[in-house]
Amino acid sequence: MEEAGETETGARTTGAPTGKAARELIARAEQQLDAARAVLADHTRAVDAVHAALVPLLDSLVRRELAAIPVSRLKDVTEGRLRLGAVEQAGYTTVGQVHEANRYELRQIPGVGAQTADQALAAAGQIAHAVRDTVAVRIDVEAPDESTTALVTALHRLVEAGPDVRRAVDAARRLAERLEPALTGASPARGRLRMLFAGRETRAAALAAVASVRTTVAGAAERGLPLLFGQVSVDLLRHPESDLATWVDFELRSAEYYSLLAEMSGVGPDRDAAAGFLPSAMADRVRGLRLDDSHLRVSLRGYQSFGARFALAQKRVILGDEMGLGKTVQAIAALAHLAARGETHFLVVCPASVLINWTREVRARSTLRVLPLHGPERQAAFAEWQGGGGVALTTFDALHTLPAARDGGRRPGMLVVDEAHYVKNPATRRSRAVSGWAGHTERVLFLTGTPMENRVEEFRSLVRHLQPELAPSISTTRGVAGSHAFRRAVAPAYLRRNQEDVLSELPALVQVDEWEEFSGADLDVYREAVAAGQFMRMRQAAYARPETSAKLNRLRELVAEASRSGLKVVVFSYFRPVLTTVREALGATVFGPVTGDVPVARRQELIDEFSAVDGHAVLLSQIQAGGIGVNMQAASVVILCEPQIKPTMEHQAVARAHRMGQIRTVQVHRLLAADSVDQRMLDILARKERLFDAYARRSDVAETTPDAVDVSEGSLVRRIVEEEQLRLATARTEIRPSGLRGT
């Protein structure tokens, strides 16, 4: 009885249950373990399916490459020691032919002995291995076949499951590692008799194991792992609706498919390029930082993960990636990591034109709380942020009105400054305001697409905000030495990657919705058009007052950023007056506009002249005239001034640039006005059957006659006008006592 008493005492001491309570606990633990094992098994099957579809495609690419390599290159591998005269005379003229042969076949050749045959095969194998490390599968949406369809379908499961897959698999592995040995050790605690007759050490070990099981089970439940495992398993087992649905999804999210494909195939960007050619010791230290993505809702590409980790490891830096590589999502990933580690307050400063985009991006790509600090209510919003935390978003012009950290304000866990070249002049008010916050914030991240090696003085000015001790060592000779040398010299404070260095799957399509708020003047024009029921005026209202137009201002910024990177831009609008306004607003090399009145031959001449420009240029085109029958693959930035009633018209216009022959990622920026006809159109069109639209878009009929597949324009127009009239009438009624906001 003494041992029984000790068991009970031991149970009370450790708090570990025995008997029925232990059995119930162990049963729950076994259920969690089964769910974890199921996720791992489902993920393994999904990955195996990708490899099964990928291997034949890679083999085919390798064979094609080897077939173009002369057999004489085998000598290079053996440093000239291999004698191949007899092999060549026997008809083996390429490395591919040797690689496909076997030892017996080669030994049948007169004059070829066992050693020569073995050396030739080994050399061919080495070349094949090297080739396999360099080839990349290109998925052609214009010519899908059985093999690529199988690959896209296999990838679809993992893409559709999203970033939860990685979190679930990592959590499942850790849970299994903890529960498997703990459950084995806790087995004696299932019954009181077993515990009664067990030795003292066995009882103590069992009770300790039960306590470990209980802690692990409780922790898993608190983190919602059982639900996560169940959801991910369902996602990984879900079949796509059809091959067509899979291809449609690939077109919409090709970057995610290619990112996963690079990971699965082991073929990605060069490690040095992905690290922005940082010194190896620094790059290794950055890679060693584990990024916590538990607050992210999106999967990062490898170079994006590196960028977020660079910002976290170096603390005060400039992320200068080329336009279109996702600087915003890298910043959000850094904020999400810090939030997972206990930080609660973050501050983002940006131009007013991208404030809405930042709001939407943070909400869409993370679980972080967002509070815009803009407009007449910004002080109240600032107080709410100070008390409750989250990601505060404000503008350069509003920042100086907020109490800085040095004045008793809350210090953010990270300060992010978008379009940081706005603060290159230290004498400006915006620069002084940013400097005030940066000086009292441990982690500061500047974002700019401007290549700093071409603007060394600007770079030195920005570095003074971040690492003033580094600024004196930055000289113009650094830039003259070339971009790679410059990046290595300023590595502690600067990371830049170019598209051609890190996007191996070119051409890809990156689509961004640029949301803007009406200025007061724009809003007046818009309200008049809505009251009059003039749908076309409603669509153009955002450009009616060029001097205050928010859309036009954002368009200028996008063109300026493209200019700094030497990229060509095509601007599409349905409306000639809008294109005229854009032409007058741009100070760049502008061609066009291409309109319906321009003869087809002249249209192509304009496009050829635009394409022949060395570096940046802008082409303006009516979307109806530039959408069919012309090729604009010289452009890698497409700006849509407004959404279109007929989605096929947008798709066809974008396809003029994003097509075979394009060698750069195509960035599509669609300018949208919040709470307007733009938003109503997108909401209504989004409710249509996506698969039908996509099928129609991919058909030959849609390519030539878009009217045949779009919704009734008349009914759509009437519905939008009526909804906007009702919304604005309701808004005026609700806010009349205090006056119209925004006017």
| Per-residue model confidence as pLDDT tens digits over 426-476 | 889 999 999 999 988 999 999 988 766 557 778 888 988 998 888 777 765
pLDDT beyond 60 at 727 = yes
What integer is the mean pLDDT of 403-409?
Answer: 65
| Per-residue model confidence as pLDDT tens digits over 323-359 | 778 899 999 999 999 999 999 999 999 988 788 889 9
Sequence-separated (6 or more) residues with CB below 8 Å from residue 97: 67, 71, 91
What integer is the mean pLDDT of 645-669?
Answer: 67
Burial class (CB in 10 A: 0-12, 13-18, 19+), 240: middle
Q: What pLDDT is stored for residue 731 in this prediction? A: 65
Pick the CATH number of 59-132 from 3.10.25.10, 3.30.2310.20, 2.40.30.30, 1.10.150.20: 1.10.150.20
How far out from the chain centre does Cα 122 lie?
A: 41
What integer is the mean pLDDT of 8-25?
Answer: 61
pLDDT beyond 50 at 616 = yes
| Per-residue model confidence as pLDDT tens digits over 171-182 | 999 999 999 998
Cα 613 to Cα 15, 60, 277: the distances in Å are 77, 38, 30
Q: What pLDDT is stored for residue 191 in this prediction? A: 61
**Residue extent(s) of CATH 3.40.50.300 domains in the chain:** 509-738
**Residue extent(s) of CATH 1.10.150.20 domains in the chain:** 59-132
Higher confidence at residue 595 or residue 80? 595
pLDDT band, very low/low/confident/very high, at 143 (cuts 50, 70, 90): confident
Fold of 509-738: Rossmann fold (3.40.50)
Q: What is the mean pLDDT of the chain?
A: 81
What integer is the mean pLDDT of 8-28?
Answer: 65
pLDDT beyond 80 at 647 = no
State how far the Cα of 151 lies from the Cα of 144, in Å rounded to an integer.
11
pLDDT beyond 70 at 636 = yes
Q: What pLDDT is stored for residue 735 in this prediction? A: 45
How far out from the chain centre does Cα 6 lie?
A: 59
Q: What pLDDT is stored for residue 634 in this prediction? A: 72
pLDDT beyond 60 at 728 = yes
How is 101-163 classified by DSSP, letter by letter?
A: S-HHHHHTSTT--HHHHHHHHHHHHHHHHHHHTT------TTS--HHHHHHHHHHHHHHHHTT
In CATH, the number for domain 269-502 is: 3.40.50.10810
pLDDT band, very low/low/confident/very high, at 736 (cuts 50, 70, 90): very low
Higher confidence at residue 160 or residue 552? 552
What integer is the mean pLDDT of 382-403?
Answer: 92
**Residue extent(s) of CATH 3.40.50.10810 domains in the chain:** 269-502
Q: What pLDDT is stored for residue 1 in this prediction? A: 33
Q: What pLDDT is stored for residue 481 in this prediction? A: 47
pLDDT beyond 90 at 188 = no
Residue type, 544: A
Pairing label, strands 618-622, 414-417: unpaired
Q: What pLDDT is stored for residue 444 in this prediction? A: 97
Q: What pLDDT is stored for residue 4 in this prediction? A: 36
Q: What pLDDT is stored for residue 83 in this prediction? A: 78
pLDDT band, very low/low/confident/very high, at 628 (cuts 50, 70, 90): very low
pLDDT beyond 60 at 639 = yes
Of 131-145, 488-502, 677-691, which range is least confident?
677-691
State how far the Cα of 361 lies from the Cα of 128, in Å rounded to an integer.
43
What integer is the mean pLDDT of 688-697?
Answer: 40
pLDDT band, very low/low/confident/very high, at 238 (cuts 50, 70, 90): confident
